[in-house]
């Protein structure tokens, strides 16, 4: 039986009252549902972590962050440390999201430090990898993915048992375009094979890119898909709950 991780990446959205509201709707929606094999994660902006941590009390919802600095403390104006995330109740952290790579120039050198910091602090990193449309059209998909995934070779097998990878084709993020199940299957298989060949390990591989209530069941049923990283649709309780329902339905079968 599969276990799923359904993760909401709220990006730079929602104020505190909206955060509490959305969480209470999700809590209400999952009440009385059999979610033992579906982990539900939300990743609100930093300013909403504390209120989210309070709001998820007495629920199975898990909290994560969208980014962090790699240093424990110090003169890094505007940054947030791993310890601060732990202190705010986070168990996961998204690293290397394509928006961070594109707008904030995050590269492999920086991401190695961030992964190390996550492992050192017992935060579970969700490392995002994915190609642009141009790269796919130029048959560079696997070259790009290789160059991004290669940073995991800086870590031990034991550390990597705590890693989650999210395959997020950049052209599918926030665009309403989703990768086809054939494309998802091909890439997820490639990632799973790479990790197994080098580390004899199976780790969760999420798909991200315009996943919604309509396509979730098909995507989540695809081989080697262990969950979703969901942006837009995670901001609407009805949609996020339907994605969770799709996962519950699959594990129940």
Q: What are 89's two structure tokens?
A: 């109740």
Q: Which is nearer to ligand PEP, 35 or 233 (CB)?
A: 233
Instruction: Quickly list DSSP for 124-153.
Output: EEEEEE---HHHHHTT-HHHHHHHHHGGGG
Binder of ligand PEP out of 229, 244, 247, 250 (CB under 6 A):
229
Has 188 been annotated as catalytic? no
Rounded Cα gap, residues 15 and 151, in angstroms? 35
Of 4, 6, 8, 9, which one interacts with ligand PEP (CB under 6 A)?
9
Under the binding rule (CB under 6 A), the answer on residue 130 touching ligand PEP is no
- Contact yes or no for 229/13 (Cβ under 8 A): no
In angstroms, rounded to a whole number, what is the distance separating the alpha carbons of residues 142 and 30?
Answer: 38
Write down the least CB distance from residue 1 to ligand PEP, Å.
25
Residue nearest to ligand PEP as judged by C-beta position: 231
Q: Both ends of the chain: CA-CA distance in Å?
A: 9
* Annotation marks residue 198 as catalytic: no
Token pair listed for 1? 């039986």
**Separation of alpha carbons 44 and 103, rounded Å:** 19
**Maximal C-alpha separation, the chain:** 52
Query: Which is catalytic among the residues 69, 97, 99, 188?
Result: 97
Within residues 199-218, the interface with ligand PEP by CB under 6 A covers 208-211
- The least distance separating ligand PEP from the CB of residue 240, rounded to whole angstroms, comes to 11
Cβ proximity to ligand PEP: between 159 and 237 the closer is 237
Residue ranges in 143-182 that form contacts with ligand PEP under rule CB under 6 A: 168, 173-174
Closest to 168 (Cα-Cα) out of 73, 249, 95, 68: 95
Tell the smallest beta-carbon distance from residue 178 to ligand PEP (Å): 8
Which residue, 10 or 199, has its beta carbon nearer to ligand PEP? 10
Binding footprint of ligand PEP on the chain (CB under 6 A): 9, 168, 173-174, 208-211, 229-233
The residues assigned a catalytic role are 97, 168
């Amino acid at each position: 039986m599969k276990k799923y991780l359904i993760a909401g990446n709220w990006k730079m959205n929602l104020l505190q009252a909206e955060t509490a509201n959305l969480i209470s709707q999700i809590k209400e929606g999952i009440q009385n549902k059999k979610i033992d094999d579906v982990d539900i994660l939300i990743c609100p902006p930093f300013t909403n972590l504390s209120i989210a941590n309070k709001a998820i009390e007495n629920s199975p919802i898990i909290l994560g962050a969208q980014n962090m600095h790699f240093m424990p403390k110090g003169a890094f104006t505007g940054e947030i440390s791993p310890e601060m995330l732990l202190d705010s109740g986070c168990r996961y952290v998204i690293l290397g999201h394509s928006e961070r790579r594109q707008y904030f120039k995050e590269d492999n050198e920086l991401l190695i430090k961030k992964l190390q910091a996550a492992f050192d602090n017992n935060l579970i990193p969700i490392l995002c990898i994915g190609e642009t449309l141009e790269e796919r059209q130029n048959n560079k998909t696997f070259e790009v993915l290789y160059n991004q995934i290669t940073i995991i070779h800086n870590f031990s097998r034991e550390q990597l048992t705590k890693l989650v990878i999210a395959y997020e084709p950049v052209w599918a993020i926030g665009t309403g375009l989703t990768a086809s199940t054939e494309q998802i299957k091909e890439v997820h298989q490639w990632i799973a094979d790479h990790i197994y060949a080098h580390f004899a390990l199976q780790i969760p591989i999420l798909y991200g890119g315009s996943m919604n209530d309509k396509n979730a069941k098909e995507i989540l049923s695809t081989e080697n898909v262990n969950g979703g990283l969901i942006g837009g649709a995670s901001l609407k309780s009805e949609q996020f709950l339907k994605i969770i329902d799709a996962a519950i339905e699959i594990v129940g079968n």
